[in-house]
Amino acid sequence: MVETGDLAPDFALENTRGETIRLSALRGKKRALLIFYPKDKTSG
């Protein structure tokens, strides 16, 4: 279980240019904001 203040686990996502970006590549260099929309664009 992730607690407040814990580092987020590493993951990779594709950006709008088709490049794969890893969270670990941003640590210590850039800020990252993660936003989750549980029902965004779904029927639920």
Per-residue pLDDT of the chain (44 residues; tens, 9 = 90+): 889 999 888 999 898 899 999 999 988 888 888 777 777 667 76
Global confidence as pTM: 0.58
**CA distance linking residue 6 with residue 37, whole number of Å:** 21
Q: Give the type of residue at 41.
A: K
Tokens coding 12: 């990779």
- For residue 26, give the H/E element and its range: helix 23-26
Q: Which residues neighbour 8 within 8 Å (Cβ) at sequence distance 6 or greater?
A: 2, 23, 34
**CA distance linking residue 15 with residue 7, whole number of Å:** 21
